[in-house]
Amino acid sequence: MDDLFATYDALAVAGLIKARKVGARELLDVTLRSMRDANGLLNAVTDFYDGELLERSVAAAGEGPFQGIPYLVKQLMADCAGTPTTLGSRFFAREPIAAADSAAVRRMRRAGLVIVGRTNTSEFGLAPTTEPAFGGPTRNPWRLDLSPGGSSGGSAAMVAARALPMAHATDGGGSIRIPASLCGLFGLKPSRGRISLAPIGETLAGAGAQHCVSIAVRDSAALLDAVAGSEPGDPYATPPPEATFLEASSRPPGKLRIAFMRQPVGGPPLDPVLVRAIERTAKLLEELGHRVEEASPDYDAQKLEEAFWRVMCANTWTNIQVRANGRAPGPDDLEPVTRLYAERGRAVTADDYIRAVQTFHRTGRQLGTFFETYDVLLSTTLAITHLPLGTVRMDGTAEEFERAVAPMTPFTAVCNATGVPAMSVPLEWTNDGLPIGLHFVARYGAEETLYSLAGQLEQARPWRSRRPPPRK
């Protein structure tokens, strides 16, 4: 049982539990030991549940498709009753205490998941790495001098280490897909409104989303089936799928019209290693029967980037005020870049903010036009092959921070601004054995298309047996 998740995915293990071939409590105890061992190297989990808190999680888990599967929830955008959601910040380390589970967490528990702890994140999820001053850096199990990416790096590191098969992740500009790429995992960001953010109305003018990182495509699909859906009063609602996402993951996608791009819109050329990864994947897609050609959407990438930072800053300032409930951050409560962004956000005018949101919407229409011709857009997830710890710093200037972030998000952030679904799939590898995620984008509401394609790619070029090297 010690290495059960190396052989079986979450759905398969849940099936063993339901058939009484594996004991749920034994699995929980073994998984917690494995996670604690891995965490000694990775620093991925900020809080392990034990005692009464753990027993409450066990009691709250339903008999759904993931019955008895241990699960970790990121310290961002999801509340677990009775504990603080720290946002990776010293300022929120102890308060506010969540009075209730957020809507998505309630659905996770109903699906059978046993929440056993919270995972590390960059402060407020601002950085696409996971190196907060509060909590310290999370390390990538593929190479300990590298970051797993972020801001869902804590979750990705634990799943990549095979300590558990999937974990909660959030995505405001790429934070599911970036760590999925750097850790060799599958990560899908759903369409805007697919998973409710209740009790929050929205984040980042609708750019924020949540789901998971996983080893298996079908685990991701089944979890989306379990947690998708709107809550009363939600500002967005995504059209329901024709069938379940789990069914889509095992259904042939048919002949898709797939465009591929060798470099970001308005950006510099990619490293030849990444270009080769795109070209090899395009060839694989052709061999699978899809119509593949080179094409890029047309939008103003520079204006979109400016709009994104404006929305990010304004939200940083406002979220601090709302959550602090009158408390003022002390001099050491926020990291320098967070404080700079908050002060910038304080100065954003209504006119500035509305124009930024209009840029999001205009770009969404331009992307929508592109998807009238193509079903899927292919690129790499990142414009880099690896991320050494310390590359993205929160203790310098905002300009230095933004320069470091730029190669992390040129393919991902547009999907958040426009609300479309996108996924990172671990199909390629560097010469020294590090994972390269390939990025696939579809029109709004078309997660079924992505899951069908992902299932096909998982069969054609399996990745589950590729694991980080063992470490002591």
pLDDT tens digits, the chain, 472 residues: what are they?
668 898 899 999 999 999 999 999 999 999 999 999 999 999 999 999 999 999 999 999 999 999 999 999 999 999 999 999 999 999 999 999 999 999 999 999 999 999 999 999 999 999 999 999 999 999 999 999 999 999 999 999 999 999 999 999 999 999 999 999 999 999 999 999 999 999 998 899 999 999 999 999 999 999 999 999 999 999 998 999 999 999 999 999 999 999 999 999 999 999 999 999 999 999 999 999 999 999 999 999 999 999 999 999 999 999 999 999 999 999 999 999 999 999 999 999 999 999 999 999 999 999 999 999 999 999 999 999 999 999 999 999 999 999 999 999 999 999 999 999 999 999 999 999 999 999 999 999 999 999 999 999 999 999 999 999 987 6
| pLDDT at residue 37, rounded to an integer | 96
pLDDT at residue 472 in the model:
62
Residue where the block lists tokens 């996983």 = 214
pTM of the model: 0.98
The pLDDT score that the predictor gives to residue 412 is 98
Q: CA 138, CA 121: separation in Å to the nearest integer?
A: 9
Q: Is 81 helix (H, G, I), strand (E, B) or coil?
A: coil
**pLDDT value at residue 242:** 93
- Provide Rg for the chain, Cα atoms: 20
Residue 43 CB contacts under 8 Å (≥ 6 apart), including other chains:
120, 135, 136, 137, 138, 139
Cα(384)–Cα(322) distance, integer angstroms:
36
Three-state DSSP class for residue 295: coil
All domains of the chain in start order, with CATH: 4-460 (3.90.1300.10)
State phi, psi for 284 to the nearest 5 degrees.
-60, -40
- Spell out the residues 6+ positions from residue 449 whose beta carbon is closer than 8 angstroms to its own: 248, 253, 256, 375, 376, 442, 443
Q: Identify whether the C-beta of residue 439 lies closer than 8 Å to the C-beta of residue 447.
A: no
DSSP-assigned beta bridge partners for residue 187: 213, 424
CA 252 to centroid of chain Cα atoms = 25
Contacts of 401 (CB under 8 A, 6+ apart): 127, 337, 392, 393, 394
Q: What is the C-alpha separation between 454 and 385, in angstroms, rounded?
A: 21
Strand partners of residue 164: none
Q: Write out the catalytic residue numbers.
A: 74, 151, 175
Q: Give CA separation, 401 vs 126, 336, 398, in Å.
A: 10, 11, 5
For position 1, what pLDDT does the model report? 66
**Alpha-carbon distances of 365 from 202, 244, 382, rounded to whole Å:** 20, 27, 24
